[in-house]
Amino acid sequence: MTTNPPANSKRRKLLAAAAASTTAAAVAPGLRLIEWATAAASNATDAQPVTDETRWGLLIDTDKCAVDCDACVRACNAEHGLAVTARPETDPQWIRKVTLTGDGDGDNSGDNSDDDGDNENAGRITSLPLLCQHCEHPPCVDVCPTGASFRRADGIVLVDKHTCIGCRYCVIACPYQARAFVHENLFAQKPWSPRGKGTVEGCTLCVHRIDQARTPACVEACNRGDGDGNNAGDGDDNNGDGNNTVAEGNTRIDGDSDHTGRNPDNCGAGALLFGDMNDPQSAIAGRLRAAPARQLRADLNLNTGVRYQNL
Amino acid sequence: MRRAVLISRATVAAILSIAVPAGADGMPQLPRGKGATCVEPLEVMRRNHMDFLNHERDLTVRGGIRGRKHSLTGCIACHAQRAGGRDGDPGAFIRIDAPGQFCHACHEFTGVKMDCFECHAAVPAGDLPETHAP
């Protein structure tokens, strides 16, 4: 669907040139071919579909991710208008914090057998954000009966809610439990993040921001400078537009509910790094080359777009 | 076939026009957009806006192409009305699918149900209520 934009644009230019050489050919009353072709060409030049030259990825350094910090989760909730209600069982989660305790076998295999007997990693606490892993071979796309669950050419796995019938097959197929179902009528959705009852949803990697060359909201929150408690005027639209009201039960008026002088909506740990894994010059590609990174459930060979270091 | 469609549309419109507030010419009264002209001629938009929206939604969702001239957010940005308060206060935006507003007025008149705003925001960005309805 997105593999041949050059051919398309060539064809459009050809059409426009052909139309220009035709003298005011009338195709309909009041509409001449030349106007139609010129309009089509000018509309086509402003954007091309995304291509697979880019593979968006997210690198998470679990050493930097604090156990008690959920700035990324709150940033996501605010960005996409995910309500935190009194019914957490049905609240959609696009990203959540997970805390792991080492089992001592040192190989992350899940079988708990300490093969070398050195008790490595025993009791080690690791905190990490868990979200859609944006697989290259996503099981949610494989099972979707309508084609609503799809992988964009640049690696972002999305739900086209126009065609989603809410069967929730993808919710079951996802090994990371990264998909959520909207159970209730919604009001006041964000214009950049349409959501509705009866459809499945999940992390979009903030695709609306990526298309504007911005970074995802969680990454921004994790990397936003911290410590002075003053983030006013930093140009970020998350501040003061609801970010401070979407919280887990406690009212945040000044964004400093823990009275530490630290704005809890900002993390500053810098555990999240977003970028193009296909671009050798990008920071994320450099970090992936420099140190080993782990894919969750690498045994499934899904080639995830979200990678974890120091896990 | 085409004739039959036209007749049935006219019949539906005639029946509905009894119940819907209409102007002197019998057509629904739509709030005007902000700009001098629409992105397309009036007749083109009346007949084809749904095709434009369907086409661009696929370009946007699947191809990541945003901000073209037939976008739903563009419609809303131009056609949403403010409630208007006292002392020159412009007031909050009214949902574009609220009775009498741009989308609703015509869709009510023609008896065509739209479900865009079950998911999409019905007010422009930057003026959103911060809490969800109970």
Mean pLDDT of A181-206: 93
pLDDT at A179 over 70: yes
Contact B63 A188 (CB under 8 A): no
Looking at A107-121, A295-309, B44-58, which range is the least confident one? A107-121
What residues of A are in contact with residue B64 (Cβ under 8 Å)? Answer: 49-50, 152, 154, 207, 210-211
Contact A191 B121 (CB under 8 A): yes
Query: Is residue B127, in this structure, part of any structural domain at all?
Result: no
Mean pLDDT of A156-169: 97
Can you give the pLDDT at residue A22? 45
Can you give the pLDDT at residue B49? 95
Mean pLDDT of A150-172: 96
Q: Which residue has the higher pLDDT, A194 or B132?
A: A194
Q: Which residue has the higher pLDDT, A232 or A38?
A: A38
pLDDT at A157 over 90: yes
Q: Which residue has the higher pLDDT, B9 or A116?
A: A116
**How far is the C-alpha of B66 from the C-alpha of A48, rounded, in Å?**
10
What residues of A are in contact with residue B53 (Cβ under 8 Å)? Answer: none
Query: Is residue A279, in this structure, part of any structural domain at all?
Result: no
Interface A-B, measured as beta-carbon pairs within 8 A, has a size of 85
Mean pLDDT of A288-301: 95
- Note whether A73 contacts B: Cβ–Cβ < 8 A: no
What residues of A are in contact with residue B63 (Cβ under 8 Å)? Answer: 1-2, 48-50, 152-153
What residues of B are in contact with residue A199 (Cβ under 8 Å)? Answer: 119
Question: Environment class of residue A182 by beta-carbon count within 10 Å: exposed (0-12), middle (13-18) or buried (19+)?
Answer: buried
ipTM over 0.85: no
Can you give the pLDDT at residue A217? 95
- The alpha carbon of residue A60 is apart from the nearest alpha carbon of chain B, in Å, by 25
Q: Which residue of A has its CA nearest to B93?
A: A188
- Note whether A209 contacts B: Cβ–Cβ < 8 A: no
Query: Is residue B22, in this structure, part of any structural domain at all?
Result: yes
Can you give the pLDDT at residue A42? 44
Kindly state the DSSP code that residue B31 receives in the 8-state scheme. Answer: P
Enclosing domain of residue A22: 5-45
Q: Tell me which of A84, A162, A190, A251 to substitute to probe the interface with B (most B C-beta atoms closer than 10 Å).
A: A162
Can you give the pLDDT at residue A11? 52
Query: Is residue A22, in this structure, part of any structural domain at all?
Result: yes
Mean pLDDT of A260-268: 58
Q: For residue A3, give both structure tokens.
A: 């593999």
Q: Which residue has the higher pLDDT, A229 or B116?
A: B116
- The alpha carbon of residue A160 is apart from the nearest alpha carbon of chain B, in Å, by 7
Of A46-55, A181-190, A204-213, B7-16, which one has max mean pLDDT?
A: A204-213
Q: Please count the structural domains in chain A.
A: 1
Mean pLDDT of A126-147: 96
Query: Is residue B123, in this structure, part of any structural domain at all?
Result: no
Query: Is residue A30, in this structure, part of any structural domain at all?
Result: yes
Can you give the pLDDT at residue A115? 64
Looking at A48-57, A88-97, A240-249, which range is the least confident one? A240-249
Can you give the pLDDT at residue B67? 80
Query: Is residue A34, in this structure, part of any structural domain at all?
Result: yes
What residues of B are in contact with residue A158 (Cβ under 8 Å)? Answer: 61
Contact B61 A160 (CB under 8 A): yes
What residues of B are in contact with residue A188 (Cβ under 8 Å)? Answer: 121, 128-133
pLDDT at A266 over 50: yes
Question: In 10 A of CB A239, how many CB atoms?
Answer: 19
Query: Is residue B124, in this structure, part of any structural domain at all?
Result: no
**How far is the C-alpha of B105 from the C-alpha of A259, rounded, in Å?**
50
Which residues of chain B are modeled with pLDDT < 70?
1-24, 85, 126-134
- Residues whose CB falls within 8 Å of the CB of residue A81, separated by 6 or more in sequence, listed in order: A186, A188, A189, A190, A193, A195, A242, B132
**How far is the C-alpha of A252 from the C-alpha of A147, rounded, in Å?**
41
Among A162, A195, A242, beta carbon nearest to B57: A162
Q: Which residue has the higher pLDDT, A123 or A198?
A: A198
Query: Is residue A36, in this structure, part of any structural domain at all?
Result: yes
Q: Which residue of B has its CA nearest to A45?
A: B68
Buried (b) or exposed (e) across A116-139, using 16+ Cβ within 10 A?
A: eeeeebeeeebbbbbbbbbbeebb
Contact B62 A150 (CB under 8 A): yes
Enclosing domain of residue B77: 2-118
Query: Is residue A91, in this structure, part of any structural domain at all?
Result: no
Can you give the pLDDT at residue B7? 54
Query: Is residue B84, in this structure, part of any structural domain at all?
Result: yes
Residue in the structure block whose two tokens are 């690696």: A155
Mean pLDDT of A86-97: 88
Q: Which residue of A has its CA nearest to B58?
A: A160
Query: Is residue B8, in this structure, part of any structural domain at all?
Result: yes
- Note whether A205 contacts B: Cβ–Cβ < 8 A: no
Query: Is residue A219, in this structure, part of any structural domain at all?
Result: no
pLDDT at A47 over 70: yes
pLDDT at A31 over 60: no
Among A49, A189, A242, beta carbon nearest to B119: A189
Q: Please count the structural domains in chain B.
A: 1
Query: Is residue B134, in this structure, part of any structural domain at all?
Result: no
Query: Is residue A66, in this structure, part of any structural domain at all?
Result: no
